């Protein structure tokens, strides 16, 4: 009986999620992102249910299924670094997908032309769960 109720709940949740159009943080109508955030409940503390490795009831979906999603995630991460004053004139220059390990690597650098040697900033995250594996600066 409990499995049937849980299955119905999960099915309903999936229908709600897939039935929604657009991003839940996307401004509605004339609302700015800040106005939308004012309507969202935000809490801090210690999360009570820390069963991060629990497999039961865990949805099996690719969190980053395509390059468009990879671009969105990397852009959000990179803009937060730019707000801290880092990589001021850098822009997204390359997206690489490692097919064997299913890892997205998005690279940013300042475009100064072919002869200009400038270090790049790279962000690597997993396709399956969007876990950021590494952020590094290279050449």
| Structure token pair of residue 36 | 């939308």
Instruction: Band the pLDDT of 85: cuts 50, 70, 90.
Output: very high
Cα maximum dimension of the chain: 68
Instruction: Band the pLDDT of 16: cuts 50, 70, 90.
Output: low
- Give the tens place of pLDDT for each residue, 48-73: 988 888 888 888 899 999 999 999 99
Cβ–Cβ < 8 Å for 56, 7 = no
pLDDT at 121: 96
pLDDT at 25: 46
Q: Report CA torsion sign: 127, 108, 23, 133.
A: positive
Domain with 20, as residue range(s), is: 2-138
Kindly state the average pLDDT of the residues 9-35: 55
- Give the tens place of pLDDT for each residue, 86-117: 999 999 999 999 999 999 999 999 987 665 67
Cβ–Cβ < 8 Å for 89, 69 = no
Residue 13 confidence (pLDDT) above 70: no
Q: How many domains does the chain have?
A: 1
Count CA atoms within 13 Å of residue 26 on its CB side. 7
Instruction: Band the pLDDT of 21: cuts 50, 70, 90.
Output: very low
Identify which of 110, 112, 130 has the alpha carbon closest to the alpha carbon of residue 121: 110
Calculate the alpha carbon distances from 117 to 24, 33, 39, 94, 137 in Å. 40, 37, 46, 16, 13
**Scanning the structure block, which residue is given the tokens 């004053």?**
85
Q: How far apart are CA 88 and CA 81, in angstroms?
A: 9
């Amino acid at each position: 009986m409990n499995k049937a109720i849980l299955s119905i709940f999960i099915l309903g949740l999936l229908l709600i999620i897939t039935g929604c159009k657009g991003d839940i943080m996307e401004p509605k109508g004339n609302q700015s992102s800040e106005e939308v955030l004012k309507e969202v409940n935000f809490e801090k503390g210690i999360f009570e249910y820390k069963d991060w490795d629990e497999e039961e009831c865990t949805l099996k979906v690719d969190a980053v299924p395509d390059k468009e999603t990879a671009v969105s995630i990397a852009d959000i991460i990179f803009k937060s670094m730019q707000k801290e004053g880092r990589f001021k004139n850098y822009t997204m220059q390359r997206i690489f997908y490692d097919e064997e390990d299913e890892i997205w690597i998005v690279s940013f650098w300042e475009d100064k032309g072919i002869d200009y040697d400038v270090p790049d900033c790279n962000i690597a995250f997993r396709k399956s769960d969007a876990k950021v594996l590494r952020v590094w600066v290279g050449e």
